[in-house]
Amino acid sequence: MSHHIFRRLLPRPVAVDLGTANTLIYMHGKGIVLNQPSVVCFQKTPSPGAGRVAAVGEEAKQLLGRSPTNLEAIRPMRHGVIADFAAAEHMFREFVEMARLRSVFGLRAEFTICVPCSATQVERRAIREAALAAGAAKVSLIDESLAAAVGAGLPVGEARGSMVVDMGGGTTEVAVVSLGGVAYQGFVRIGGDQFDAAIVSYVRSLYGVVLGDQTAEHVKKTIGSATLDVPTERARAIGRSLVDGLPRTIELSNHDVAEALAAPLRPVVDAIKLALENAPPELVTDIAHSGMVLTGGGALLANLDKRLAEETGLAVRVAHEPLTCAVRGASAAASCVDAASFG
C-alpha cells in the first residue's frame, strides 16, 4: 500500500513535442497538459538577451507582427530544432511552469522529447540542455517519426512494414518502421509554415495584396485544400495593397489555395516516392497492403490524404488526433521503458 502511495508522489514520465509551430506536453495518466504555440515575447531592454518574458504561447502569438516597439515576439524553433537557444530556454521554462510538472515535493520530472531525424548532434544537445535548464531531472530523445507511428497506433513492434508521414510546422518526415525501429527515414524542410508562405506569395503575385502570416494561416485552415478536385468554397481576407499601401479586402477560393500549395507539396510527394524506392522490398509490399498514415498538424490540411493517394496509388488515412500523435507516442514509449525498469 505504502509503495503505491510513494509511486504516486513521484513525478510521472513527461513527453514533449517541442515543435516549430506548437509545443505539446503530455503527462502519463493525465493526457495533454499543455498545447501552446511555440512563441515567446520579450520586453526589450538596452542589454541584448536581458529582456524579461512578457508573454508566451497563445498570448505571444497574437503579438507576432503586431508587437509595439518595446516588445519583441520570437519563434525560437525552426524546422523542429532550436534556432534561438536563449529564447527557447525561456519559453520552455515558462511552459513547464504553466503545465505544473513538479510533484508535491518539488521533484523534477523526467522528459522524453521528440526530435526530427534531421537534427544534428549539436541541435540534439541544444534541445537536451534547454530542457535541463527548464528543470528536467533527466532528458531522453526519441525520433519524432517513430513516436508519431506509435501514437498513430501502427504495429511498430511487429515484423511488418508501416509508413508514417509526419508533417509539422517546418519539416515533413517520411518513415518506414518495423520491429520497433526505423527501416527508412527521410525528410524535407516543408511544413505548415511553408504552406502559409506560399499562400502569401500567391496572393501577392495574383492580387497585388500582402497578407500577414496569421491571415494566411487562417485562410489555409478555413478553405485550404491540397487538390483542385473539390467543390468551390470562398473566404474573404484583408491585406495591404501594393499599389497604395491601404487595406484591401479580397475574396479567395479553395482552388486559389490549392494552386498556391502545389509547389510546396511537390517535395513532400517526392519524399514519399523516394521512401518507397529505397525501403526494403518486403516492407514496401506490406505498405502496399496497409497504406500510409498521416500525422502532425499538416495532416489537417483538407484533402491531403486524397492528393497523396492519387500521387502514390496507396491507401492514405489521417491518424486520429494527428497533431498529438508524436507526443502521445513518446509518452507511450517512455512508459514502456519506465515499466521495464521497474520490472
Equal fold, 2-38+75-146+325-341 vs 155-190+265-323 = yes
Query: So what's the pLDDT on residue 102?
Result: 59
Does residue 2 carry a pLDDT above 50?
Answer: no
What phi and psi, each to the nearest 5 degrees, are found at residue 194? -70, -30
155-190+265-323 — its CATH code? 3.30.420.40
pLDDT band with cut points at 50, 70 and 90 for residue 105: very low
Question: Which is nearest to 247 in space by CA: 238, 258, 234?
Answer: 238
State pLDDT tens for residues 301-325.
999 999 999 999 999 999 999 999 9
Longest dimension (CA), the chain: 74
Query: So what's the pLDDT on residue 146?
Result: 96
From 42-56, 128-142, 252-266, the region with the lowest mean pLDDT = 42-56
Query: So what's the pLDDT on residue 46?
Result: 58
C-alpha cell at 186: 527521410
**In this structure, is the dihedral angle defined by the CA atoms of residues 85, 88, 93 and 99, taken in order, positive or negative?**
negative
Collapsed DSSP state (helix, strand, coil) of residue 177:
strand
Average pLDDT over residues 264-288: 96
User: CA–CA separation, 124 vs 122, rounded Å?
Assistant: 5
**Taking the CA of residue 153 as centre, how many other CA atoms within 13 Å lie in the half-sphere pointing to its CB?**
7
State pLDDT tens for residues 148-191.
999 999 999 999 999 999 999 999 999 999 999 999 999 999 99
Quick one: what percent of the chain has pLDDT higher than 70? 91
3-state SS, one letter per residue, for 95-150:
HHHHHCCCCCCCCCCEEEEEECCCCCHHHHHHHHHHHHHCCCCEEEEEEHHHHHHH
Chain mean position to CA 30: 21
User: CA–CA separation, 50 vs 137, rounded Å?
Assistant: 26
Average pLDDT over residues 98-111: 69
DSSP assignment of 227-284, as one string?
-S-S---EEEEEEEETTTS-EEEEEEEHHHHHHHHHHHHHHHHHHHHHHHHHS-HHHH
CATH architecture for residues 192-260: Alpha-Beta Complex (3.90)
Question: Which is nearest to 111 in space by CA: 102, 120, 98, 121?
Answer: 102
pLDDT band with cut points at 50, 70 and 90 for residue 5: very low
Look at strands 81-82 and 110-115 and give their pairing.
unpaired
What phi and psi, each to the nearest 5 degrees, are found at residue 287? -65, -35
pLDDT band with cut points at 50, 70 and 90 for residue 47: low
Please provide the size of the chain in residues.
343
* Domain residue limits, the chain: 2-38+75-146+325-341, 155-190+265-323, 192-260
Question: Which is nearest to 36 in space by CA: 81, 123, 119, 94?
Answer: 94
What phi and psi, each to the nearest 5 degrees, are found at residue 186? -140, 165
Asked if 254 and 174 touch (Cβ cutoff 8 Å), the reply is no
Q: Which helix (H) or strand (E) holds 61?
A: helix 58-61
Q: Which helix (H) or strand (E) holds 73?
A: strand 71-74
State pLDDT tens for residues 186-212.
999 999 999 999 999 999 999 999 999
Asked if 129 and 111 touch (Cβ cutoff 8 Å), the reply is no
Superfamily (CATH H level) for 2-38+75-146+325-341: ATPase, nucleotide binding domain (3.30.420.40)
User: CA–CA separation, 107 vs 117, rounded Å?
Assistant: 31
C-alpha cell at 142: 526519441
Does residue 56 carry a pLDDT above 80?
Answer: yes
State the pTM of this model.
Answer: 0.89
Residue type, 253: S
Does residue 10 carry a pLDDT above 60?
Answer: no
